[in-house]
Amino acid sequence: MDSANSAQLATFLQRCARAFDGWPALRESADFLRRLALSAPDPFRVAVIGRMKTGKSTLINSLIGRPLAITNVEEATATVNVISYGTAEQSRSFLAIWKSGRIESFPIERLATDWTGKSPEVLERIREVRYLQLYANDPRLAEFEVIDTPGTGSAIEAHEQVATDFTRPEAITDSIDQGRKADAIIYVITVGRESDADSLTVFGAGRLSSADPYNSVCVSHKWDGPVEEDPYAAACLRAEGTLAQLKDKVLKVLPISAPLGLAAQQAPDDFFARLLPIVASPGLLASRLRTDERWDADPARRAAREAYPLLPWSSFQMLISHFLRQPPETAVQARQACRSLSHLPELEQLLQRHFFANARVIKQCQLLKKAKDVIEPALRSLSQLGETEKKDIERAERAGRALTDPELAGWAQRQAATAEENVRRIGEVTLELDREWQVHQRHLEGLQGDLQILRHLHDPESIFSEEHHRTIRAVCERQSSSAATVEEISTLSAHCRRILRVQFDRESTSMTEHLVRRLDEAHRAARQSPTQP
């Protein structure tokens, strides 16, 4: 149903574009809608954005389960990298999509040689490329694309860093552009390294207008710094504060350690096996953990760390201190502990439940939202044009009355007729397009509202009592098998109207209003088909 709807929406956008073609002033709108319609069948896109060096690429790697995005401690991702599902064969090469429109294929090894570093050749390439298309033969990518972006940040910051660091001011715009184009957004921030207020500018300032709780999540990263009593608890506390700031923009703020998540998937068994005896006899281990030099002083400890050298020291510290508190017994246990310590499963679950399970609805919503910014002003412009034309009719009619020469009067009449025809055409076109536009919007708002209510039913503090859950499910899931009776609907509808009178929370109010609407629809449907019980 939803994919059919997506196709319908695309058809509608094409129709709008064709209609707008008739007016030169709307040419750009028409072009935009056409491009948008063409993008409708594109796969679901998740953009990972955030400031420089927040670990966006590491996060992507940990989600995919293996290093893929260009990650390097020294070099930040400088290009936009789109990562899609591909066959094993495909994944051995990558494409550079140049700004000139040319597309070129390279073996994957060239990624490290041609696209990293600060040599003039690399810089030139990065300037000339629009994005890199990478492939990963990972079933997790079958249904969506991941976009790794260069860091965003304030322009001033980028400017300051230009001398010392490898950063392009365009990288910021590139990232924000990608965020706008994406269907869902993972916004990565690092805790402690930057002021919260600063790091949230991009979201807060509304520059990423596509960000919404239903399609955005914030990941706070790199909290696994100095060993505290419980860094995760501290990070959670900070995450709550961040969420308050990002209210209306993201669904949740999750502290994650992507390096640990990656280690749990990538580190050899040997790594965990070597750690077991070390943490089994703690002794003065905690003090050895203060610096990597002290740790490496002992050959066994050093060998263990070198079994998986990719794990940053700070993450390693946290892993060991966790093991000291709860020593694992087997390597398998250790790996599992590492995974749960990364808290990556929570993010995966959240992405699965909120993004991927609803990918089609989200994608349509995004499509609609982008279309809205163009269609509505265009319809308003057209209506204004109609108003101008109406004045023309009036003027021409007055001229017709004033002119005595029959030929001139005839000319004025023709003018009036032309203007009238224009007004009529504009009226017809705008009304017809707007009506259909409202139907699309309505449909999607309905789907979103349904999702919100069905989610809300899981909430222990639900404003609806248990007895109503079945009816709510029946009208929101709209499956004929579990249709509610007219009486049930009427009762709940009356109940909701009562709730509306005493509800003091905007979110519950809008949710209840949506439910009332659904109930009214169901009531009408149930009455029109009296065969149902």
Q: Is 437 in the site for another protein (CB under 8 A)?
A: yes
What is the spatial distance between Cα 533 and Cα 530, in angstroms, rounded to a whole number? 8
Stretch that binds another protein, among 66-74, 121-129, 233-241, 395-403 (CB under 8 A): 395-403
Cα distance between residue 147 and residue 134, in whole Å: 10
Q: Which long-range contacts (CB under 8 A, 24 or more apart) does 59-62 make?
A: 59/186, 59/188, 59/219, 59/221, 59/256, 59/258, 60/146, 60/148, 61/258, 61/262, 62/258, 62/259, 62/261, 62/262, 62/265, 62/342, 62/344
- The verdict on 417 binding another protein (CB under 8 A) reads no
C-alpha 221/C-alpha 256 separation (Å) is 6
Cα dihedral value 80, 64, 40, 176, nearest 10:
-30
- Contact of 170 with 78, CB cutoff 8 Å: no
Nearest to 47 by CA among 37, 36, 57: 57
Give the residue, chosen from 139, 206, 530, 533, that forms a contact with another protein under the rule CB under 8 A.
206
Residue 243: CB minimum distance to another protein, A: 16
Minimum CB distance to another protein, residue 125 (Å): 18
CB of 464 to another protein, least distance (A): 13
- Nearest-CA neighbor of 235 among 217, 254, 259? 254
- Interface region with another protein, contact rule CB under 8 A, candidates 6-14, 21-29, 175-183, 358-366: 21-29
530 touches another protein (CB under 8 A): no
Q: Does 128 bind another protein (CB under 8 A)?
A: no
State in angstroms the smallest separation of the CB of 493 from another protein. 5
Nearer CB in complex with another protein: 231/449: 449
Per-residue CA distances from 452 to 87, 182, 414, 448 (Å): 37, 21, 56, 6
Task: Assess 196 for contact with another protein (CB under 8 A).
Answer: no
Stretch that binds another protein, among 60-68, 120-128, 235-243, 388-396 (CB under 8 A): 388-396
Is 120 among the residues that bind another protein (CB under 8 A)? Answer: no
Pick the stretch among 7-15, 249-257, 350-358, 428-436 that binds another protein (CB under 8 A).
428-436
> Closest CB to another protein among 318 and 499?
499
Q: Which two tokens stand for residue 164?
A: 């010392």
**CB 54 to another protein: min, Å:** 25
Between CA 464 and CA 466, with CA 465 as vertex, the angle to 5 degrees is: 120
Scan residues 442-501 and list those touching another protein (CB under 8 A).
Answer: 442, 490, 493-494, 497-501
Q: Which is nearer to another protein, 312 or 386 (CB)?
A: 386
CB 8 within 8 A of CB 364: no
Question: Is 8 one of the binding residues for another protein (CB under 8 A)?
Answer: no
458 vs 501, beta carbon nearer another protein: 501
Does 408 help bind another protein (rule: CB under 8 A)?
yes
Strand (E) or helix (H) holding 63: helix 56-64
Q: Is 424 in the site for another protein (CB under 8 A)?
A: no
Alpha helices in 205-246 (DSSP H): 231-245
Question: Where does this chain bind another protein (CB under 8 A)?
Answer: 24-25, 27, 205-206, 376-381, 383-384, 388, 391-392, 395-396, 398-399, 401-403, 405, 407-408, 411, 415, 427, 430-431, 434-435, 437-439, 441-442, 490, 493-494, 497-506, 509-510, 516-517, 519-521, 523-524
